[in-house]
């Protein structure tokens, strides 16, 4: 530790820290623009100049290392004068357009100009003008004259997103930030550039000119998309979601969110929203009231149960639903006498022993890994924020290996790649297990080629170091031999001292397992339910044609049922359903998502439900009451949550398996959703569907 004096106070900081870090530690604010705690130091803006004793001139706090006994003054006349001089330079070319700037109200330059800017400018010449640029549907670069060349966006692309999509060209007054010739900004994390831009140069294209920041109410929420469970601040005006930005949580998403977390809110305000219950009569949809619709569903379910037996009723629920909705859907199905409920819509191997599969470690620990083997995942697109954690680890020297069916750009160096058809994954993983077994002097679980060069290299990588993980992606989870892949991953992890688990597909993949939204004894799984035997089907946030492995074939099979009930915020399943019930999306209801590390995160609605929309848990509870079923007496969301997640969640998480390993090749292509096709909300977000990722899917 090094002790320095900062504004008369003694401060202890780690050796190698900068004055800025010491100031943060002491709670002292030093004005800055280019410095960001998650990015490398550039010292471009010079706004953080401070007075260091015995230094001939003011020094930049962000780039000056601390030394023992150093005396620093951040508020001396010398420091203040230096900061005011820098501010004058920054404002020389900055346009005077604060009244129309989207950044107004949350602009660092605006805030600091009040404290350090002059009342008038000595500069009377013409200001420079920078030509606007088109970099895609998400980020607006219309007013690049506002840019102060802090290079935060450039460093973010290189260091966090892993793709240098913006750079600075030319020199001096002619410098400007631009994309490479003819290219747009296509990173799945690109929206974070808007957040870190300290001025109004990079703004949100969908949000642009739609509201002023001081008009917005700010409310906490949780992302309903991937397994990270990113923490969000949803900004609201007149009961309408206007913008979504990250809520900092070091353990989960740090200060970043993926573009699908940021821009998917657009879907909530589209014409696709279902705003009142509808019943199909004579092939035509008729709007109705809730009482009529629910009685129609209740009578239909009773009739099917009497005529065909309870086993002919099934529920297909999306793992993007809340834990409370999934719990009540499972309770409703079982109270009717059926065990057929499933959330594993894209799976092909349904072996399950009642344990909740999870990441096997904490999300934060991914940044500290020394080696990782990723099986069956395009991790950059499937889990953008987890990929960013792995990228951090690689920047610190970690090695990452993959087993997948094609070469993909992960925006990070991959030490070893085994590219093979999905049918051969089990054999290739068996080869790695055999190589590990040979190195450890133990017997391999199944026959494998321990001498294969790739298997040898990956085995050596996993056997070295201390912090390592074997991670199974979406394609591995949905593989026809998923249980064999898990069993082999378990062997490799046990022998190498690694953790093992699933990256997790949906917001509530773990939560669905914890609340029992899986088939019971004698119940049908998702694949069996789509083979045409059901007479009544409940679809909770599910669009079979898009969400299920069978796709259109599954939807056609379900349409043969006597009654199909669709519970969704959108006009989904109109071609196969008999009843459409509008349930609230995550912004209009309370609920809980359990992310891939087993962290249960509860949230509340941030706007009132649109039209006649009702929270899904309330609809299911009332339906249970109408049917006269036991266990539907809950009055509040807290009552449901207490019943759904009674114990500490961590006690029920386990990836341990006793499944046998089958290395026989099987012709099967795992069903994996593209980044902007994952769930009903992202599929209906206009700006996301205009991105390169969506167009290329």
pLDDT value of residue 188: 94
pLDDT value of residue 638: 94
Q: Binning pLDDT at 50, 70 and 90, where does residue 697 land?
A: low
Q: What is the pLDDT of residues 513-538, one digit of tens each?
A: 999 999 999 999 999 999 888 999 99
Q: What is the pLDDT of residues 450-475, one digit of tens each?
A: 899 999 999 999 999 899 999 999 99
φ, ψ at 111 (rounded to 5°): -65, -45
Q: What is the pLDDT of residues 43-62, one digit of tens each?
A: 999 999 999 998 999 999 99
Return the closest-CA partner of residue 192 out of 172, 165, 222, 168. Answer: 165
SS3 call for 17: coil
Q: What is the pLDDT of residues 304-358, one digit of tens each?
A: 999 999 999 999 999 999 999 999 999 999 999 999 999 999 999 998 887 899 9
Which pTM does this prediction carry? 0.93
Q: Binning pLDDT at 50, 70 and 90, where does residue 282 land?
A: confident
Q: What is the pLDDT of residues 117-163, one digit of tens each?
A: 888 888 888 888 899 999 999 999 999 999 999 999 999 999 999 99
Question: Across the chain, what does the average pLDDT equal?
Answer: 92
Give the integer Cα–Cα distance in Å for 227 and 507.
4
Q: Are 444 and 468 in contact (CB under 8 A)?
A: no
Sign of the torsion formed by the C-alpha atoms of 166, 171, 176 and 182:
negative
Angle between helices 616-626 and 323-335 (to 10 degrees): 20
Asked whether residue 374 carries a pLDDT value surpassing 90, the answer given is: yes
Q: Binning pLDDT at 50, 70 and 90, where does residue 442 land?
A: very high
Residue range 531-559: mean pLDDT, rounded = 91
pLDDT value of residue 420: 93
pLDDT value of residue 666: 84
Angle, CA of 226, 229 and 232, to the nearest 5°:
115
Q: Are 605 and 637 in contact (CB under 8 A)?
A: no
Q: Binning pLDDT at 50, 70 and 90, where does residue 668 land?
A: confident
Asked whether residue 599 carries a pLDDT value surpassing 80, the answer given is: yes
Return the closest-CA partner of residue 661 out of 472, 510, 448, 500. Answer: 448
Residue range 610-633: mean pLDDT, rounded = 93
Q: Are 120 and 348 in contact (CB under 8 A)?
A: no
Q: Are 174 and 144 in contact (CB under 8 A)?
A: no
- Give percent of the chain with pLDDT exceeding 70: 100
φ, ψ at 160 (rounded to 5°): -105, -55
Asked whether residue 5 carries a pLDDT value surpassing 60, the answer given is: yes
SS3 call for 21: helix
Residue range 362-370: mean pLDDT, rounded = 95
Give the integer Cα–Cα distance in Å for 350 and 344.
8
* E-state strands within 519-672: 536-540, 563-568, 579-582, 591-594, 600-603
pLDDT value of residue 230: 95
Give the integer Cα–Cα distance in Å for 428 and 452.
9
* DSSP percent split of the chain into helix, strand, coil, nearest 5: 35, 20, 50
**Tokens describing residue 535:** 């007479």
User: Which positions ≥6 away from 258 have C-beta within 8 Å?
Assistant: 188, 189, 191, 223, 225, 226, 228, 230, 384, 385
Q: What is the pLDDT of residues 170-204, one digit of tens each?
A: 888 888 999 988 788 999 999 999 999 999 999 99
């Amino acid at each position: 530790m090094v002790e320095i004096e900062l504004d008369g106070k003694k401060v202890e900081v780690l050796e190698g820290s900068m004055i800025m870090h010491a100031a943060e530690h002491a709670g002292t604010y030093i004005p800055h623009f280019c410095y960001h705690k998650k990015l490398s130091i550039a010292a471009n803006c010079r706004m953080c100049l401070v007075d260091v004793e015995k230094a001939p001139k003011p020094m930049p706090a962000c780039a000056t290392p601390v030394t023992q006994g150093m005396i620093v003054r951040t508020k001396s006349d010398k420091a203040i004068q230096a900061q005011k001089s820098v501010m004058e330079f920054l404002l020389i070319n900055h346009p005077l357009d604060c009244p129309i700037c989207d950044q107004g109200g949350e602009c660092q330059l605006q805030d600091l100009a009040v404290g350090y800017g002059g009342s008038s400018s000595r500069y009377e010449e013409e200001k420079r003008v920078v030509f606007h640029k088109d970099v895609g549907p998400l980020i607006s670069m219309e007013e690049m004259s506002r840019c102060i060349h802090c290079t935060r966006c450039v460093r973010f692309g290189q260091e966090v997103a892993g793709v240098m999509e913006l750079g600075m060209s030319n020199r001096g007054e002619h410098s400007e930030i631009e994309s490479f010739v003819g290219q747009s900004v296509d990173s799945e994390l690109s929206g974070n550039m808007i957040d870190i831009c300290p001025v109004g140069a990079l703004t949100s294209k969908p949000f642009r000119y739609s509201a002023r920041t001081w008009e917005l109410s700010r409310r906490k929420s949780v992302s309903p998309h991937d397994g990270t469970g990113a923490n969000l601040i949803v900004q609201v005006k007149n009961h309408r979601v206007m913008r979504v930005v990250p809520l900092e949580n070091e353990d989960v998403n740090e200060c970043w969110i993926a573009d699908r977390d940021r821009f998917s809110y657009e879907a909530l305000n589209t014409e696709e929203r279902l705003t009142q219950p509808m019943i199909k009569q004579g092939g035509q949809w008729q709007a109705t009231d809730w009482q009529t619709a629910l009685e129609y569903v209740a009578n239909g379910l009773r009739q099917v149960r009497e005529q065909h037996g309870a086993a002919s009723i099934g529920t297909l629920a999306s793992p993007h639903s809340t834990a409370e909705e999934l719990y009540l859907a499972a309770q409703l199905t079982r109270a009717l006498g059926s065990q057929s409920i499933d959330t594993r819509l894209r799976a092909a191997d349904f072996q399950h022993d009642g344990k909740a599969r999870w990441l096997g470690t904490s999300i934060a620990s991914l940044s500290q890994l020394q080696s990782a083997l990723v099986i069956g995942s395009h991790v950059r697109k499937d889990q953008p924020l987890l990929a960013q954690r792995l990228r951090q680890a690689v920047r610190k020297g970690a090695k990452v290996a993959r087993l997948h069916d094609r070469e993909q750009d992960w925006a990070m160096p991959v030490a070893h790649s085994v590219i093979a058809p999905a049918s051969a994954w089990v054999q290739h993983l068996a080869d790695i297990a055999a190589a590990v077994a040979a190195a450890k002097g133990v017997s391999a679980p199944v026959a494998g080629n321990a001498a294969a060069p790739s298997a040898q290299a990956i085995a050596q990588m996993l056997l070295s170091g201390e912090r390592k993980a074997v991670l199974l992606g979406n394609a591995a989870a949905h593989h026809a031999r998923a249980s064999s892949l898990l069993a082999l991953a378990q062997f490799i992890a046990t022998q190498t001292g690694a953790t093992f688990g699933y990256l997790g597909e949906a917001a509530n993949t773990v939560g669905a397992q914890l609340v029992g939204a899986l088939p019971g004894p004698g119940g049908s799984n998702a694949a069996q339910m789509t083979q045409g035997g059901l007479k009544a089907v409940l679809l909770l946030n599910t669009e079979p044609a898009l969400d299920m492995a069978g796709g259109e074939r599954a939807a056609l099979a379900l349409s043969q049922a006597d009654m199909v009930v669709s519970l969704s915020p959108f006009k989904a399943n109109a071609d196969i359903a008999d009843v459409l019930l509008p349930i609230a999306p995550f912004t209009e209801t309370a609920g809980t998502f359990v992310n891939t590390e087993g962290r249960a995160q509860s949230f509340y609605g941030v706007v009132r439900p649109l039209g006649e929309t009702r929270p899904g848990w309330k609809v299911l509870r009332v339906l249970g009451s109408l049917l006269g079923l036991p266990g539907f007496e809950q009055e509040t969301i807290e009552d449901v949550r207490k019943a759904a997640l009674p114990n500490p969640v961590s006690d029920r998480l386990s990836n341990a398996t006793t499944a046998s390993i089958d290395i026989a090749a099987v012709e099967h292509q795992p069903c994996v959703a593209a980044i902007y096709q994952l769930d009903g909300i992202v599929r209906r977000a206009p700006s996301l569907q205009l991105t390169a990722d969506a167009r290329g899917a």
